[in-house]
């Protein structure tokens, strides 16, 4: 599990490069800005929150303006950040100021806002879950249901919002689900196959009944995912596992909503995993205004 708030700069650099190529086309042109704004005209632009929420993606601002400046052969604007990622803001709060060539600021505008709005939306949504779980001892986890090409950035935004990352991909943790059990023949067979092939990898097992949870524990699993269980069934499963081992990690997953989050957390699970943190978060409205 990961809560480290280091910004994934390399992923941001690659995403910005792709986004600018989409926006500027094969010849690297903003035909409106290049035709109407003199190369030496300068101004200050403010990145402003248009709604309350939690900010994520502030370092993207510098990355975008730096890449744009290089593309059009201009000096890069200076960026003064006024809030840090993870900060709760309200409508009208200024997040950063960008001072320098207007051409660069306007060409960079949509790319930096698209990325910041998306990441801040994920952070804002995550904070709602984190607040709902406060005091229960449970943490909210994300999943692999991320936007292709944005996984590390979206998972960073989850951390900025107070959530925790589960596995990053298929490579860093084994997760035995129904299809793996069917293909291998049983929970035990799937677990032993992974343990013999990849002896050092962590293994998580998805279960739907108390009996299946106890079977998974018996073969060696110490991270049990309880999928689509009712609150009473989850509480029964947690109790049965805790009798075996107080330290076993237990996750509730499948169909969870904010309205029932706390009820599920109070069963004694360690985690609630929520795919919606990254696949269904609405954006946080962020704008860029040139100062008069």
3-state secondary structure 274-291: CCHHHHCCCCCCEEEEEC
Which pair of tokens denotes residue 180?
A: 């793996």
* 9-121+282-290: CATH, from 3.40.50.720, 3.90.1170.20, 3.40.190.10, 3.30.830.10: 3.90.1170.20
Catalytic residue among 13, 144, 177, 222: 177
Which pair of tokens denotes residue 149?
A: 């090409």
Catalytic residue among 145, 195, 222, 236: 145
Using a cut of 0.75, tell me whether the model's pTM lies above it: yes
In b/e form, how buried is each residue of 82-120, taking b as 16+ CB within 10 angstroms?
ebebbbebeeebebbbbebbbbbbbbbbebbbbbbbbbb
- Looking at residue 292, what is its pLDDT? 65
Q: Rounded to the nearest 10 degrees, what angle do helices 210-219 and 187-197 cross at?
A: 30
Catalytic residue check, 110: yes
CA 158 to chain centre: 4
pLDDT(14) > 70: yes
- Looking at residue 125, what is its pLDDT? 98
> What gap in Å lies between CA 46 and CA 96, rounded to an integer?
6
The per-residue DSSP string of 105-172 comes to: HHHHHHHHHHHHHHHHHHHHHHHHHHHHHTTSS-EEE--S---TT-HHHHHHHHHHTT-BB--SSSSS
Catalytic residue check, 206: yes
Phi first, then psi, for residue 289 (nearest 5°) are -120, 125
Catalytic residue among 23, 227, 249, 285: 227
C-alpha gyration radius of the chain: 23
**288 neighbors 96 (Cβ within 8 angstroms):** no
Percent of the chain with pLDDT over 90: 97
**56 DSSP 8-state letter:** -
pLDDT tens string 205-262: 999 999 999 999 999 999 999 999 999 999 999 999 999 999 999 999 998 999 999 9
Catalytic residue check, 177: yes
Q: Where in the chain is the domain with CATH 3.90.1170.20?
A: 9-121+282-290
Catalytic residue check, 144: no
- Looking at residue 228, what is its pLDDT? 96
User: In CATH, what number does 131-279 get?
Assistant: 3.20.20.70
Helix (H) or strand (E) holding 176: strand 174-176
Taking residues 42-59, report their average pLDDT: 98
Q: Where in the chain is the domain with CATH 3.20.20.70?
A: 131-279
Catalytic residue among 30, 63, 85, 206: 206
- Distance, first Cα to last Cα, the chain: 47
Catalytic residue among 13, 110, 236, 262: 110
């Amino acid at each position: 599990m990961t809560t480290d708030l280091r910004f994934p700069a390399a992923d941001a650099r690659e995403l910005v490069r792709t986004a600018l190529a989409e926006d500027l086309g094969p010849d690297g042109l903003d035909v409106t800005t290049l035709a109407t704004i003199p190369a030496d005209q300068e101004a200050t632009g403010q990145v402003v929150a248009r709604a309350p929420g939690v900010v994520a993606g502030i370092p993207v601002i510098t990355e975008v303006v730096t890449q744009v400046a290089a593309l059009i052969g201009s000096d890069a604007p200076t960026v003064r950040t006024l809030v840090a990622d993870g900060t709760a803001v309200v409508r009208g709060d200024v997040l950063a100021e960008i001072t320098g060539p207007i051409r660069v600021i306007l060409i960079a505008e949509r790319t930096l806002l698209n990325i910041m709005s998306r990441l801040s939306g994920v952070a804002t949504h995550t904070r709602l879950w984190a607040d709902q779980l406060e005091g229960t001892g449970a943490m909210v986890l994300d999943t692999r249901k991320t936007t292709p090409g944005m996984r590390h950035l979206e998972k960073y935004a989850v951390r900025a919002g107070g959530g925790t990352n589960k596995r990053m991909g298929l490579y860093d943790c084994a997760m035995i689900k129904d299809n793996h059990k069917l293909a291998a023949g049983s929970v035990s067979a799937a677990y032993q196959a992974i343990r013999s092939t990849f002896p050092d990898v962590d293994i998580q097992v998805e279960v739907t009944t108390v009996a299946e949870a106890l079977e998974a524990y018996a073969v060696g699993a110490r991270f049990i995912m309880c999928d689509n269980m009712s609150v009473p069934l989850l509480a029964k499963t947690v109790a049965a596992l805790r009798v075996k081992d107080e330290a076993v990690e237990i996750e509730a997953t499948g169909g969870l909503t904010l309205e029932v989050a706390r009820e599920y957390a109070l069963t004694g699970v360690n985690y609630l995993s929520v795919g919606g943190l990254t696949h269904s978060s609405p954006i946080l409205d962020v704008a860029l205004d040139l100062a008069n």
